[in-house]
Amino acid sequence: MTSLGLSSPARKGHGESLARREARWGYIFLSPWIVGFLAFTLIPMVATLVFSFTNIQLTSSEPVRFVGLANWQALLADERVWSALRVTFSFAALQLPIAVIVPFLIALLLNSRRLIAPGLFRVLFFMPYTVPFVASVVIWEQMENQTSGWIDQALGFFGIAGPNWLNDPALIYPALVLLGLWGVGGGMIVYLGGLSGIPGELYEAARIDGASWLRQLWHITIPMLSPVFLYTLVLGIVDVLQYFLVVEIINNGTGEPGGTTQFYNLFIYKELWTYGDEGMASALAWLLFLITLAITLLVFLAARRWVYYAGER
């Protein structure tokens, strides 16, 4: 604000018009986002809601008309929708803890002062984060292959018959979680940033009191990092609720094995691009939005109880 001379006493008399001028420039610079927000976020969101009350089709000569709650009723009565939600939540139950904890553990390891060459390890652990998504799926799929994959070959070395990870309904979720591990680099860096922000005096004091490493971890490191845990958790939730592109690549979205990869977003995607039912897809999309909103709000509310902000008064 002062950049525009507001603080200069000589111009105090023109304060109001200066403030207006500043606001005008602010809005001018803001305009790309305002236009983008309206065109690509707000209006499409409202339109999606409106679509969900119509019979609109991707390719159809039939006139578009309002059908009231028909899509929503059909959706709630559709067993496939519930099944797709169950699939998404079952996967999330495994994926989320891993997505939050594994980067933390790696960051803890890399932050240890006993580690030789920490810089090199940081580069190496972060590197796969930059491998393009499709490439990492294709590479890990090979890793989990039953005959030539190294996971099963390593198991075979110990005399264990390696399973067919990606085709076994009981193992598909661990296989998919493993397949996503190369994405931990981003979270790891954020945790490392958080770790470097913890005042060393806390550890000094704890050491004088004779606190063990584990107690220091539990009573200093983890509480001090709680904002980072929250950040990773919320982004993890948003991500996992949209999960489906991996299985699109692996098995073309067939839902195999046994419907265990029939994720909710895959269902929306098919409803739209395979069946062209935009009305139904819109209702499904809005339901996803409401679910995401409800869960993130709950997490933020609950966070008041367990997140500690050092700067808070």
Partner 1 sequence: MWETETSTDRTSQPAPRRSLLARASGRDSHRGSVRPLLQRIGITGIALIAIAGFLSPLLLSLTVSVKSIDQLSNGGSLLPETPVTFTYSDRDLDVYMVPMPDGSTRELALLRSSKAAGTVTFIDPAKPDADPIVWQGNRFSLARATVLDPQWSNYSTAWNDISFLRLLLNTIALAAIETIGVLLSCTLVAYAFARFRFPGRNVLFILVVATIFLPTFATVVPIYTIFTKIGWNGTWAPLVVPAFFANAYDVFLLRQFLMTIPRDLDEAAALDGAGPIRTLVSVILPQAWPAIVAVSIFTFVYSWNDYFGPLLYLTSKQDLQPLSLGLANFHGARNLQNPGVVQAATLMSIVVPLVFFLVFQRFFVRGINITGSGVEK
Interface with partner 1 in residues 277-296 (CB under 8 A): 278, 281-282, 284-286, 288-289, 292-293, 296
Under rule CB under 8 A, residue 27 binds partner 1: yes
Residue 125 in the binding site for partner 1 (CB under 8 A)? yes
Measured from the CB atom, is 260 or 265 closer to partner 1? 265
Q: How far is the CB of 104 from partner 1 (least distance, A)?
A: 13
In the chain, the DSSP E strands lie at none
| Under rule CB under 8 A, residue 4 binds partner 1 | yes
205 touches 213 (CB < 8 A): no
160 binds partner 1 per the rule CB under 8 A: no
Q: Indicate which single residue of 44, 97, 169, 258 sits in contact with partner 1 (rule: CB under 8 A).
A: 44
CA proximity to 303, closest of 295, 313, 293: 295
CB 71 within 8 A of CB 280: yes
Shortest distance in whole angstroms from residue 210 CB to partner 1: 8
CB-wise, 70 or 231, nearer to partner 1?
231
Q: With contact defined as beta carbons under 8 Å apart, do 54 and 66 qualify?
A: yes
- Minimum distance from CB of 90 to partner 1 (Å)? 19
Is omega for the bond preceding 199 within 30 degrees of 0, making it cis?
A: no
Burial (Cβ within 10 Å: 0-12, 13-18, ≥19) of residue 128: middle
Q: CA-CA distance, 54 to 283, in Å (whole number)?
A: 10
Selected binder of partner 1 within 150, 218, 275, 306 (CB under 8 A) = 150
Binder of partner 1 out of 16, 62, 116, 161 (CB under 8 A) = 116
